[in-house]
Structure 1
Amino acid sequence: MSSFNVTNDDGKRVDSANPKGAQADSNAGVARALRFHAASQQIDVSDVEITFDGTTGIVTLSGSVPYASTKNNLISAIGNVAGVAAIDSDNLDVSGP
């Protein structure tokens, strides 16, 4: 499993990642905030599904991105959000070089 443990508690607060107010008290709301956070950093998440498990703090990424650098940037951006404990990117494919 491509899992990245994150031990960063001083990252950006997930509830402030979306100024329009995603419902950060729900897993779906946190996932929307994470998507907004990544997109605000110019990371293409149009073909990526992001899910969040609030019990474990694990973010799961699935779908595809065009480049390996996009995948790495996405993992880095999400890993820097407070409350994210780990990232599972097993089902996130790179479609290009």
Structure 2
Amino acid sequence: MLTALFQAIPTYAGAALILKIAHSTALRPGIIGFVATATLIHVLMTSAAGPRYPRLLKQAYAADFYDATLSFTDKVLRWRTQPDGSLQLLSSTVMLALLSIAALAVN
């Protein structure tokens, strides 16, 4: 769930906004379906391949998210205090803010 919330949804929502700004027809079935499907595939692939290939997927796989001994708050706190987690959260926030402004300006 945390992988979807903090990693996948911002990425694919940003991609959907880029396609919307570009007036692409790739999102014809719907933006929500695209984001939901891409997020589900992302989470399934990350949770399956992340433990097997931690070096290859070091930016996509946050092992703390899958630690059953940690509470929700501890998982988020550990991820947020890591340099990669903070950078990912900051870049997602800035990207979505700029894309939202662009989407509002275009329409």
TM-score by length of 2: 0.26
Higher strand share: 1
Higher helix share: 2
Structure of greater Rg: 2
